[in-house]
Structure 1
Amino acid sequence: MRLALTIAAAMMLPQAASADTYITAERYLDVAAGRYVDNPVIRVGADGRIVSIEELGEGQTLGARPGDTVWTYPGMTLLPGLIDMHVHFSSPADIRGYRRYQKTDSFWAITSVPTAQAMLELGFTTVRMVGSRDRIGVGLRQAIEDGYVVGPRIVPAGYSLGATGGHCDSSFLPPSLDPEEKGEGIGDTPEELRYQVRRQRKYGAEVIKVCATGGVFSLNTEPGQPQLSVAELSAIAEEAHQWGLRAAAHAHGAEGIKRAITAGIDTIEHASLVDAEGIAMAVNRDRPVWFAMDIRNTDYTQAMGESTGTLPENLRKDREIAQAQRDNFRAAHEAGVRMVFASDVGVMPPAWVPGQFAVMVDYGMTPLEAIRAATWNAAEALGREDDVGAIAVGRYADMVAVAGDPLADVTLLEDVQQVLKGGTPVEEMVPWALQPKD
């Protein structure tokens, strides 16, 4: 239950220059320490960042001023806003295979808007959008930041990089329907791929995504197949780091994973067929390497694949790697690989995403570790330790409230009671078009 109050000027307290927001609850989870803090009073400034956190003692008052807002959540546990490190908002999960060619080009950008809002309402206040046509991720980030659309904070990748004929290249059409020139993001030498890094950054990318191996939902590629050399991947990583960006590699196969780690890629997406050598490399690498393993979505694709138009070849590949990925998730976690939460939403619908926490626990994590993967760890992997991933002074007041103890029952994250972004409840966020005009 949420109670809200705007402190009235009739209280005759001195009027502050700018209003603050106060958030109270029964407790909040300090994800860094792994412990609860009781009776917090979280003060949020006008910029949406946490100014102070204090414990409200018996008989104490908030100290709110005229014009301040108070959001109180009695009996609730607050957690940091969740972070999903692998999303595709412009790829509806119920449109696969050749069904996509029944839609016009602008369809995909439009469908990304409700998907973004749905993910925010589920508690994901930050996401990393790892590749989209027409730079939809960049445009969506701009629309959200400017108030035209309600959604999470987005770290966009622009176009994914890859080899001609690889997983990130178009592989569904015959030559007569494909352009002769290379598509956006495609390169076949270190220098071509270095240029593509610069090009994606020029037009708004905040992370560089590359396909190091074949994939499940492309044609004429196999997940275990390496598709870029160490030299090509190194050029991508070096160029991204030079510009202050992180690099993420789609890599299912063991050899491609090891090449990506050797090259200095920051996050390994999927990591389905990683072997013991690759796990050891990830653990012992001087520069942190993070695994982003999407271990729930195969439940959706195998159950719903035929009805969505997924081709038999793609369902076969999905089926073949599903259990191997989950077993390797367990092995990587037990070995001490750094892990982040990654759903690959777009392969499954947003409503299925929170259920991944329970799968992560089923395959070896404690509830705290699963929560940290979607908060503290993800913020570090993004290089965003100063603004997201924890309820802490200086960071954005991005939070979720649940009724109960998520460290005892992680499935509580499947039914969050409240989501706040920058200290504002989601239901209070009004897009520009619906705001009252003078």
Structure 2
Amino acid sequence: MALPGRYLGACLAACLGTLLAGLAVPAAAASLYVRAGRLVDVESGTAKAGQCVLVEGERIARVEPCAPPPPGAQVLDWSAYTVLPGLIDLHTHLADVSGSADVAAPLKTSPQATALLGAYHARQTLEAGFTTVRDVGTYRGLTDVALRDAIAAGLVPGPRMYVAGAYITVPGGGGELNGVVPNDQLPADMRLGVVRNAGEAREKTQYLFDHGADFIKMIATGAVLAMGTEPGQVELSDDEMRAVVEVARAHGSYATAHAHGAEGIKAAIRAGVRSIEHASLIDDEGLAMARKAGVWLVMDIYDGDWIDQQGTREGWPAEYLRKNRETTQEQRDAFAKAVRMGVKLAFGTDAGVYPHGLNARQFAYMVRYGMTPAQAIRAASLDAATLIGHEKELGSIAPGKFADMIAVSGDPLADVRVLESVAHVMKGGAAVK
């Protein structure tokens, strides 16, 4: 993931503007009455007209047929729009450089510059209607923790973040920056999760939780966008993955596994992960195991087209393009089969491979490969909230939950692509767009 030099300088200037603008993040009104044109109920997959939402502070107090607003309440007129819960992307890389031909860019970009880029990406993501993300790793370890905390403190605008801190990966594996300098010469913050045995896996997992991680991301197989690794190759051992899962559970949390190959996917499921990222080459046995164990699949079925088209134009490494071609259609076919089998599927895009803010482009692909628009929207709202264990606070427009809402023109239950252009965004009762 990298940015060309000239663009990086311009982007960092924009990032600083974002950071300064974030010092004036709008506060939530004490009482807000939102008039919706149509309100989407993600549980039933239907929309109802004439509904209003009373927001008190950061939370939703009531959802009801529209009436005169309570005394003193500020009225927000979204009556020309369809209103949905804020969207959730479970596979982002905000606190990192973005995809390009320069394999060395993460090393060339300092931790400070990476943090500024993260602030810029966070604002792009929020304004695209994604009010919560699960950020699943960064080459510069713990930069995501700093970004999450800055957003939570109101210092910069961005989505609610749940972060992994770093990748748990084998030396030279899919979570390492390979092919730039000898890996043992990389900065320490780029190797926080490198493990050689189950004992180290346990220690590194404990370290990440001690330093602010919300969950753990394991690199169970090789990666498409990592030099010298193959997506079908198993990397972490069964013992290493079980050690990570055990420590995560002891912290009341969970582990997810980057896994493209069928054998790595099945090993991760046996180890007890909550979700599988990518699942590109999953076989029928793996799908059945995931369904039986209740393991979620988070399949980024949009960005293969971006890598192929943009990567070819920009001269991305031939190895990347080859591996992308070998996995893209396989992954989409597997997604369609998972839909038919009733496997749990939640929305995740690998944002950062393509530019942040384009996350909603994946909805149309999910519909093309078997979901209804209502199912795709639920995957990015209530189902995503359930995966991360926050369904009581996020994922739908209901009393007691955070007032995270978006407004779009048109009917996303008929044409899911209207989600690619979000007119208004509210996060925690504060209108941010």
Is residue 430 of structure 2 the alignment partner of residue 424 of structure 1? Answer: yes
Distance 1:337 1:190, change over 3 A: same
1:37 pairs with 48, 53, 59, which one?
Answer: 48
1:15-37 residue CA offsets vs partner (Å, 9 max, x unmatched): xxx93111111221111122223
1:307, CA displacement in angstroms? 4.9
Question: Aligned pairs, how many?
Answer: 402
AA aligned opposite 1:315: L
Q: Secondary structure at the match of 1:167?
A: coil
AA aligned opposite 2:411: D
Structure-1 separation of matches of 2:239 and 2:281:
22
Is residue 205 of structure 2 the alignment partner of residue 197 of structure 1? Answer: yes
Is residue 415 of structure 2 the alignment partner of residue 409 of structure 1? Answer: yes
1:99, CA displacement in angstroms? 4.3
Q: Which residue of 1 aligns with 2:120?
A: 114
Q: Which residue of 2 aligns with 1:134?
A: 141
Distance 1:403 1:170, change over 3 A: closer
Cα pair 1:193 1:235 within 8 Å, conserved = yes
Q: Secondary structure at the match of 1:172?
A: coil
AA aligned opposite 2:38: R
Is residue 358 of structure 2 the alignment partner of residue 352 of structure 1? Answer: yes
Alignment of 1:283-302 (within 5 A): 283-285=291-293, 288-302=294-308
1:376-432 residue CA offsets vs partner (Å, 9 max, x unmatched): 1100000001111110111111011112211111011011111111122113xxxxx
Distance 1:74 1:160, change over 3 A: same
Q: Which residue of 2 aligns with 1:83?
A: 88
Q: Which residue of 1 aligns with 2:60?
A: 50
Distance 1:229 1:99, change over 3 A: closer
2:69 pairs with 62, 70, 80, which one?
Answer: 62
1:169-194 residue CA offsets vs partner (Å, 9 max, x unmatched): 23223438725989211112222111
Q: Which residue of 2 aligns with 1:6?
A: none
Structure-2 separation of matches of 1:309 and 1:142:
36
Unaligned runs of 5+ in 2: 1-28
Cα pair 1:77 1:401 within 8 Å, conserved = yes
Distance 1:219 1:289, change over 3 A: same
Q: Secondary structure at the match of 2:121?
A: helix
Q: Which residue of 1 aligns with 2:402?
A: 396
Cα pair 1:91 1:347 within 8 Å, conserved = no
Q: Secondary structure at the match of 2:63?
A: strand
Q: Which residue of 2 aligns with 1:254?
A: 262
Cα pair 1:141 1:153 within 8 Å, conserved = yes
Cα pair 2:97 2:105 within 8 Å, conserved = no
Is residue 341 of structure 2 the alignment partner of residue 330 of structure 1? Answer: no
- Supply the RMSD in Å over aligned alpha carbons: 1.8
Q: Secondary structure at the match of 1:106?
A: helix
Structure-2 separation of matches of 1:180 and 1:94:
21
1:98, CA displacement in angstroms? 3.2
Cα pair 2:141 2:192 within 8 Å, conserved = no
Unaligned runs of 5+ in 1: 1-17, 428-438
1:119-159 residue CA offsets vs partner (Å, 9 max, x unmatched): 11010000001011131111111111111101000001101
Please give the TM-score of this superposition, normalised by the length of structure 1.
0.88
Structure-1 separation of matches of 2:311 and 2:107:
17
Cα pair 2:97 2:106 within 8 Å, conserved = no
Please give the TM-score of this superposition, normalised by the length of structure 2.
0.89
Q: Which has the larger radius of gyration?
A: 1
